[in-house]
Amino acid sequence: MVLGPRIWTVKEVAFILRISKRWMSEWLRRNPTDKFGEPFYTPMGRTKTFDEGDVERIRAAIRENERCRLTSSRLAPAKRRIGRVAAPTSVNMLTEALKLASER
């Protein structure tokens, strides 16, 4: 008897990756495809199925997300914005309003 490639469900893939089924389902909801637009799973009705290649692509995508998260904290300091204003800002608006209100 010849068997095809091993096929897993979300629950089995979560067990393989040592994560919860809920975490796996949420991650797939937020990341349905890889960077090339290829789905991480094969839908069979309402069931998502995975082969070995899918599991490896999921691991690679999670690793890449973590790499990006770790390197994004080292951003360059923000530069001060310099630009023109529409009106002079030297007069306080409240002071101006009180001055106008107290005049008779």
Nearest to residue 42, comparing CAs of 56, 54, 26?
Answer: 54
**pLDDT tens digits, 55-77:** 999 999 999 999 988 887 665 66
Q: Which structural domain, as residue segments, surrounds residue 29? A: 10-72
Q: Is residue 81 part of a domain?
A: no
Q: Is residue 3 part of a domain?
A: no
Q: Is residue 89 part of a domain?
A: no
Residue 5 host element (H or E): none
CB of 40 closer than 8 Å to CB of 50 = yes
Query: What's the domain count of the chain?
Result: 1
Q: Is residue 4 part of a domain?
A: no
Q: Is residue 98 part of a domain?
A: no
Find residue 71's DSSP bridge partners: none
Determine the Cα–Cα distance for residues 41 and 30; give it in Å rounded to an integer.
13
Q: Is residue 77 part of a domain?
A: no
The overall pTM is greater than 0.75: no
Q: Is residue 50 part of a domain?
A: yes
- HSE-CB of 6 using CA atoms within 13 angstroms: 8
Q: Is residue 84 part of a domain?
A: no
Say what the pLDDT of residue 73 is. Answer: 64
